[in-house]
A and B are shown apart, each in its own frame.
Chain A
Amino acid sequence: MITITDVCKWYGKPEVLKNINVTIERNQTVVICGPSGSGKSTLLRCINGIEKYQKGEIIVNGISLNDPKTDLYKLRRNIGMVFQHFALYPHMTALQNICIAPIKVLNWSKHKAEKEAMVFLEQVGMGSNAQAHPAELSGGQQQRVAIGRALIMKPQIVLFDEPTSALDPEAIKGILDIMISLAKSGMTIVCVTHEMGFAKEVADNIIFIDKGEIIEQGAYEEFFINTKTDRAKDFLKQIL
């Protein structure tokens, strides 16, 4: 589904990403972890072409991001994204936040978009807050809306960029539950997170990045129990 080959990225020195090689299969859930500033989020943003990279190749769904003929806008319809600080449009209600993309990008009627959006809002327990503006919602509620905004496009892949690190403990559980059921429903998920409980429950592959390099990757047992490198061991000691 996603093939990343020898991807390098730099703004100057040092490199932000160094020779990244990752393969993600359909229906897999992949967790990316590592210290802050290691390049995790940058890698995630490269997958939907929001950030550019200088070398290597990323192929999503058989389409190369390098190919100048690739319509990135069209590609992004199939890749949802959820952000650490929610990034909801502050001037729109929760419902409008979810509806704007299907109406403008997929040319749905307003009626259809709102009907669909309400289904998603009900699903994430936000049905009664449809008319609220982001500022009137708690962090956890905002993130639920943001997930709805990504899912209404019926994406094949959802990218999560530290979706719970700006939330309080109660809200974290709610969001993780939504993500877990999403993973179990067969969605392809790439998630930058330090929530190892989530990784244990659903991750097929865990990737550890430090200083722009993949240091280690493997399934849960392999990564946690038989950790090979010292860098990964140090990191795990800090977060567990």
Chain B
Amino acid sequence: MFKAVTNNIVFFINGFTLTLELAILGIIGGIILGALLGLGRISKNKFVYYFVSVYINILRSIPLILVIFWFYFFMPIISGRSFTPFFSATISFIIFESAYFAEIFRSGYQSISKDLVSAALSTGMKHTQIARYILIPIAFKRMLPSLVTQAIITFQDTSLAFVIGLREFVRSASIVDNIEVRSIQIYGFVAIVFFIFCFSGSKIATYFETANKKTGLS
């Protein structure tokens, strides 16, 4: 039944590998940049705060496809040379997803009560120790479910790199479909693969959330 898929399985695997690479780079880059932007969102420095807020709000109100296009057209102009679609797409994902990760980090940072810091200080702990043993572990545990959820969304979002001709999973499928004309099997297969990964991911997120509820961290 899935002959159109099995006959082209190497092609699909290559596409999926590219999707995974794109997702991993986007997630890691997005989390690092997002953690910093999140700090900017709680900054007492007015300039930093407004700059970061405007950046985040603009990115959150435009479609990802447009961001992908924009970097695809814009990067050659500012740098004066052309880039591979993969590089351009990776930058777009990091920039775009960081705006969403930033809001997760902001609420994670804000969820820690001031008394907790005072309590740690009163036992003689240094600020670096407080950050390492109290603040970061709590914030990270609290944010973990949302971070996993956003990582799943990033993984799904990579399919949109389709539009600049990148041969990721969905583009590979559409190329195969143009030859084989077996849309149900081919896109059905793509949907099942995505579903397995994303559904497992969402179960992991739920697991972390339940664990947090048990320990009173949510």
A: residues with CB less than 8 A from B are: 45, 48, 50, 73-74, 76-77, 79-81, 83, 85, 87-91, 100-101, 104-105, 133-136, 146, 149-150, 153, 159
Contact = CB atoms under 8 A, between A and B. Distances in A.
Contacts of B124: 73-74, 76-77, 101, 105, 153
Contact of A135 (B120, B121, B215): B215
B216 A45 contact: no
Contacts of A48: 121-122
Interface of B: 113, 115-116, 118-126, 129, 133-134, 137-138, 141, 214-217
Given A83-B118, A85-B115, A90-B217, A104 B125 contact: yes
A159 B113 CA distance: 19
Given A76-B121, A83-B115, A104-B129, 6 more contacts: A77-B124, A80-B122, A89-B116, A104-B125, A135-B216, A149-B123
Given A87-B115, A90-B216, A100 B122 contact: no
A76 to B, nearest CB: 4
Contacts of B214: 133, 135
Contacts of A74: 124
9 contacts: A80-B123, A83-B115, A87-B119, A90-B215, A90-B217, A101-B125, A105-B123, A150-B122, A159-B122
Candidate in A104, A136, A149 with the most chain B CB atoms within 10 angstroms: A104
Contact of A45 (B116, B118, B134, B138): B118
B133 A104 contact: yes
A61 B68 CA distance: 63
Nearest to B124: A77
Candidate in B113, B119, B121, B215 with the most chain A CB atoms within 10 angstroms: B119
B125 A105 contact: yes
A133 B213 CA distance: 11
A87 B116 contact: yes
Contacts of A89: 116, 119-120, 134, 138
Contact of A100 (B118, B133, B138, B217): B133
B129 A79 contact: no
